Every structure is written in C-alpha cells, then in structure tokens.
C-alpha cells in the first residue's frame, strides 16, 4: 500500500477551503482576569480574591457550552488563559472538557499554582503546550516584577513538576527595563531543560482601565532590537519574515484589518464578550445569552470590515505585516486602529535595517515613514504608554454596530 504523503497543515486547510469559509480555527478563551501575582507590567491582573470579579465571570456550564459551539463551527486550537487560568478551582474540569471535545488546547500560566494534581492532569491528558511566563532568573528581579514574595520559587517548582512529567512546555518572558539584563540567563535556563524560549519587548496598556504602567518599564528601541538579534532562532525568523514582506511590497487592501483576527481567530473574555483578538477590544458581542455562531458569522465580519478613513502612512508601508503597530495595538494604545505607535514603528525600522540594510527600502531612523525626527532610542524621549483606548472611553469611538445592521448582514456558508 502506498504511503499517504504528508503535507503542511496550512496546505490542508487551504485545500479544504477553511480560510475562504472563515472557519474559526484558533480561539482564545480568557477564563478570568484575576491573578495571584501583581506584575507591574501586566495588561490585566485583578485581585485574586475579588468577589466582584468572580461574580462577573462566566460560569463553568456556559464555558462548556461555548466550547461545544466553538467546536461545532470548526475550531481546532483553543488557548486557555487569564489572568491566571489556574486560579479557578474548576479549571481541571474545563480543561478536560475542551480536550475531550477534540480541541488542541494550549494553556498560558505563570506556573506558581502548578500543583501535583495539575501536573498529573497534564501528564495524563497532554495539552498542545503549557507556556509559563518567567520574569527573571534571580529572586530579586523576578519578585520585583511580580511584587509577591515567594513567587520565584513557586514558579521554578511549577516548571520542574511539568518538565519531570514530560508535559509539552515552553518558557517566555516580557522584556522590561527591570529584567532585560537577565534575558540571556532565562534563555540559558530554558536551553538547559531542552525547552523553547521566547521574549517580547512590546508593552501594551492595560485592557481593563487599570493604571497604565510607568513608561520606564519599556526598553528602548535599540535595546529591544539588540535582544532580538541575540537570539539566533528569532533572528532567522525575523529575517525571513522581513524579506517576504519587502518582496511583497505595500498592500493594496483598503481594509484596516488584514490579519487573522475575526477571520480565522477570536477572543472571548471572562465576561462572555466576543472580540476580534486580545488587543482589539472596543467592539464586542455578548455571548452570555447569544450564540457564538451568530457572533462569528455576523458580528466579527462587521467588526473587522473597517476601511481606511485616513491617509495614514501605515496603510502603504511594506513593513506593515511585520510591525507590532497592528490595528489592535494602535486601538489599545491610542484609541484608533489607524493610529501609529511611534516606539513600535521605530523598533520595526531598526529590525529591518539590521537584517536587510538598504535592501529594506526603509531608513534606520524611521524618518522615511514618520517624516521627521530622530530615532527615540531612550524610553524617556517619547514615552508611549499613555492612552486607555481599549475600554472605549477614548473619543471618537472606533466602531458602533447596531443589532439591525447585524441582522442585515448576509451570513456566509457554514463550514
């Protein structure tokens, strides 16, 4: 019997028409915004014992119903995250339900609440991956970030429990000015365990109207790019992505959203609000009483249908596909999906020049797109963490969708 040839998943999905049919392949389910840590940079970390927050969160039964609805629409990958996802005592039951529904489940956690029970659960019913955030490689640095005594030792204990049981595991960090000096040590720790490690240098504001973080936490553009290039795997990935973006040239699309948000991915927050992604949150659809199918087929196409209303330089920039200044980030930071986050723009231009030089078609100092000024290499030069665009309090509102408009919108064919 001839062997069945192997093909990439992307090819299989394309041949099956998953992209053209808007199949919700990737979902994010935020089960709580509460957390047992109080990380200084975190985009949302409500108090762990907040009764008011608990009462607002979706009940376990509704979460199970939503998982069934996701699967019925063709979802394959589901991310369970928070807040701290393990803070909910019903997490094991929810996790098992998602696994048994046939979903490929990834779990984001800070690792400090990984008990023997949780470790055994993951060992028996393997997730696609558990990703643990590591905020430093010394107790002093880690707990300066988390602001909880003893959290460093609990995090390392959680990592070791999962690693010892062979649970698929990855480590990651959010690069801050407070822990940037330990990124190499964190990567080294992961390598010693045979684990993948990644870092992110682009800070976003809080999604819940909490106080914005001190701009001192954001590392400068030069430092951010230096850390990128110091990671061989990340450098190679960036170089390939940048070459492809430059070769493709500026997009001719008139749509602001050209990513997979609302097209093949979605986010549901702890209160049942369906949103485009974890960054674009101003427009939402209530899933407490209404179905995911309606939200997916009617609301999300309308939410991502915005066309460019300004002649912003970003719309014709060849680096747009590889820039952290996506519509969601701009909306969260500045209240407008078409706005430009200067710091992110500068980091992207530095990356392009470092990887491709003049072949990138862009200037190192970003003046080709900004039109003026000098690279803000220090965070104090142009502090960028200021707005509260994600909550909808910024004016003018990005999008207002009326129920009648949703009813008039044609429903695409079901997958």
In this predicted model, what pLDDT tens digit does every residue of 256-294 receive, in sequence order?
Answer: 998 999 999 999 999 999 999 999 998 999 999 999 999
**Range(s) of the domain holding residue 344:** 220-256+309-409
What is the spatial distance between Cα 126 and Cα 303, in angstroms, rounded to a whole number?
35
Are residues 346 and 225 both part of a single domain? yes
- Give yes or no for a contact between 385 and 218, defined as CB atoms under 8 angstroms apart: yes
Whether the per-residue pLDDT at 21 is higher than 60: the answer is yes
Q: What percent of the chain has pLDDT over 70?
A: 86
Are residues 393 and 293 both part of a single domain? no
Are residues 143 and 205 both part of a single domain? yes
Number of CB atoms found within 10 A of residue 91's CB: 22
Average pLDDT over residues 367-377: 63
414 is a domain residue: no
Give the residue from 253, 308, 317, 291 showing the smallest Cα distance to 411.
291
Are residues 339 and 266 both part of a single domain? no
Domain boundary among 270, 300, 330: 300
The token pair at 390 is: 């994600």
CATH number assigned to the domain comprising residue 31: 3.20.20.70
Peptide bond into 83 cis (omega under 30): yes
Q: How many domains does the chain have?
A: 2
Are residues 239 and 199 both part of a single domain? no
pLDDT class of 383 with cuts at 50, 70, 90:
very low
Are residues 122 and 268 both part of a single domain? yes
What is the spatial distance between Cα 180 and Cα 270, in angstroms, rounded to a whole number?
31
Are residues 287 and 399 both part of a single domain? no
Give the residue from 25, 142, 130 showing the smallest Cα distance to 85.
130
The predicted model scores a pTM of 0.86
Higher pLDDT, 92 or 411: 92
pLDDT class of 86 with cuts at 50, 70, 90:
very high
């Amino acid at each position: 019997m001839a062997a069945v040839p192997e093909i990439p998943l992307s090819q299989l999905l394309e041949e099956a028409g998953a992209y053209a049919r808007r199949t919700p392949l990737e979902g994010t389910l935020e089960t709580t915004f509460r957390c047992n840590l109080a990380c200084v940079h975190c985009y949302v970390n409500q108090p762990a014992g907040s009764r008011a927050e608990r009462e607002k969160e979706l009940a376990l039964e509704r979460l199970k119903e939503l998982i069934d609805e996701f699967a019925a629409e063709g979802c394959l990958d589901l991310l369970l995250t928070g807040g701290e996802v393990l803070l909910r005592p019903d997490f094991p039951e929810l996790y098992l339900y998602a696994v048994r529904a046939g979903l490929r489940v990834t779990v984001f956690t800070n690792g400090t609440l990984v008990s023997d029970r949780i470790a055994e659960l993951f060992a028996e019913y393997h997730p696609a991956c558990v990703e643990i955030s590591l905020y430093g490689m010394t107790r002093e640095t880690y707990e300066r970030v988390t602001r909880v005594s003893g959290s460093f030792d609990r995090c390392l204990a959680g990592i070791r429990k999962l690693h010892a049981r062979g649970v698929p595991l990855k480590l990651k960090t959010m690069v801050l000015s407070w822990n940037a000096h330990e990124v190499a040590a964190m990567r080294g720790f992961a390598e010693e365990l045979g684990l993948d490690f990644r870092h992110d240098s682009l800070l976003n504001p809080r999604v819940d109207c909490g106080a914005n973080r001190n701009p001192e936490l954001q590392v400068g553009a030069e430092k951010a790019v230096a850390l990128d290039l110091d990671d061989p795997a990340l450098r190679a990935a960036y170089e390939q992505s940048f070459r492809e973006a430059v070769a493709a040239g500026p997009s001719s699309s008139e749509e602001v959203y050209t990513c997979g948000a609302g097209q093949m991915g979605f986010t549901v927050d702890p209160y049942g609000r369906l949103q485009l992604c974890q960054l674009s949150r101003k427009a939402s659809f209530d899933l407490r009483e209404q179905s995911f199918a309606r939200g997916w087929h009617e609301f999300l196409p309308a939410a991502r249908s915005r066309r460019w209303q300004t002649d912003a330089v970003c719309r014709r920039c060849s680096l747009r596909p590889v820039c952290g200044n996506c519509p969601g980030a701009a909306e969260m930071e500045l209240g407008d999906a078409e706005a430009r986050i200067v710091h992110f723009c500068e980091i992207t231009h530095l990356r392009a020049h470092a990887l491709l030089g003049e072949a990138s078609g862009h200037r190192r100092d970003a003046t080709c797109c900004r039109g003026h000024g000098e690279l803000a290499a220090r965070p104090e030069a142009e502090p960028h963490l200021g707005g509260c665009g994600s909550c909808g309090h910024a004016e003018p509102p990005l999008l207002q969708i009326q129920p009648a408009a949703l009813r008039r919108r044609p429903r695409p064919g079901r997958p």
